[in-house]
Structure 1
Amino acid sequence: MTAPRLPRRALLALGAGAVVAPAVGRAQTASAVSAPFEVRPLWPGAAPGGEAVTVQEQVVLRNPNGDPNDTAFVHVRDPWIMLRRPAQPNGAAILMIPGGGYQRVAVSKAGGPIDARLAEMGYTVFIMDYRLPGDGWAAGPAVALQDAQRAIRIVRSRVAELGFDPSRVAVAGFSAGGHVAGLLATRFAQDAYAPVDAIDRLSARPDFAGLMFPVVTLTQPYAHGPSARALVGSDPTEAARDAWSIERHVPADMPPTFIAAAADDRVVPVENSLMLWQALRAQNRPGELHVFEQGGHGLAQTDASGAPAWMGLFDAFLKRDRSPRS
């Protein structure tokens, strides 16, 4: 079946906050949408470390006059994880982490064309919302990592129920969500929060990582400004920049990593992707880098079917035989 052509707006929906939305003060509150998918909270009670948090969560329209399902979550207090089941499962699961420049999370409980296409390809798709570092959480810059670790453990807790392979659980992050996914792929051995239930005994290591037009480095001159300010402030030390730069902390057991970006990205410089690729090479870790000549932030290049060009490449990467050669 030929997939519908995805509009550029749909591709940018997963991108950085500098592109995707008007200021919150000008945004309209989004109307309620009927979610056709299963949505569950990430945490069994209140999210950890919220004693000093006073902000009120909002759901806003990314375009005041646009699609009522084209939403962003601001000042997230109750993060969630959503499941889209494939009609014909291929045995693998993907945890999607959308972007938003660490200012908001560009996601909809009505789903979107990216997760729809991945499910059509057979993937059991989970989409997560996550908390933001500027809202007063005790974990500070690590708050989104807490949610990502909890989310992938929830994915793993549903292996028997949903029937996917526990060794084929990938994370796919977009823009600032790529930074969250990068944290998950590099810091899975560091528990970002104290266990709250039996789910937290499961591994937080993704089997594969896909980073699309990702925020990677907080070092100058290639840092994405809004993400860097949200994570380490407006006048950070070099040590703080280094601490939250993904390419500086690639472990010897980092999962196989797929990276895709456009050379003409004016929001997150493509050097972010190049720096991570070089770090993977330095650690002799398996990885694949695709730099498209055009596509901008959102990587709007499409294939003959109208699907994002990176998607078929990522699918092939996830399915590659990596068994030892005799």
Structure 2
Amino acid sequence: MKAAVVTDFTQPLELQDRPIPEPGLGQVLVRMETCGLCHTDIHAAHGDWPVKPTPPFVPGHEGVGVVDRVGEGVTVRDVGDRVAIPWLGHACGRCDHCVSGWETLCEQQQNSGYSVDGAFAEYAVADADFVVTVPDAVSPRDAAPLTCAGVTTYKAIKVAGVRPAEKVAIFGVGGLGHLAVQYARIVGGIVVAVDVDDTKLELARSLGADHTVNAATTDPVAAIEALGGIDVAVVTAVIPAVFEQAFAALRRGGRLVCVGLPPETDGPMSLPIFPTVLKGISVIGSIVGTRQDLTEVFELHAAGRTTVVAEPRKLDQVNESIADVLAGRTPARLVFEF
């Protein structure tokens, strides 16, 4: 099978011919149809984060495909099922996080395309219990970005506890942000989209954003304060200064939801103590979502509540695609089609 492999953090990915893997105990073999390119895949390929994957490995955690074979002991999946392979590849199911509905915090978790091989390949093996059914009404091209960008921003809006008519600012309108705009609207938020690209701000307006701010030409804090401030800021950007701007734009009782993860070398976010305390600000870290969250994301899309903006690519364009994402030349999400 063809696979895109990280062999060294300083080198481009290599397209290799690898044997089709065999599903082990409790696993399924999935013939991939699509896989989205997430910024996390780029961080993985470059070794940007403190806990690094070990080359050689295959990235990809927005994989969608059809179960081709099932391993020993698998009773929850059948050959022919269309499933998604998400970031959460495995959790223990026994710790207090798992049993309380926070499996994404499990300390024993395995992550697709990071600690175990992912879906930048024609076939991938995955834990049968942790793949998620893709409804027939959701196309493989749409399902791929929903598998991470969708479930990540959906969870961020959930943990923010957005109430109807609250002002919600989305900082960064890209692969994640264009979906965050829609989830904020679904729960009744009045949405402010912030970006440095007029094309992406136009996309946000087309998806229902009530206000837009170009942070390249306008002070975003002043522009948001002119709107009365915001109750919730969801930051999908990966620049620490943007988190600080989002914090500064919050009203009393506001919530800052941190989603984007910058490279380790970009330094920390500065958090002022007095405004945090005196304004009653909450700072919330939100990381992806559970299997149930992803099921809900697919159900909403199948019901016509969301639109996915994605451009198809082929796997042999993987390095060009990474360059395009880093340069901001993509409309929202890139999806490899097999």
TM-score by length of 1: 0.28
In terms of fraction of residues, the more strand-rich structure is 2
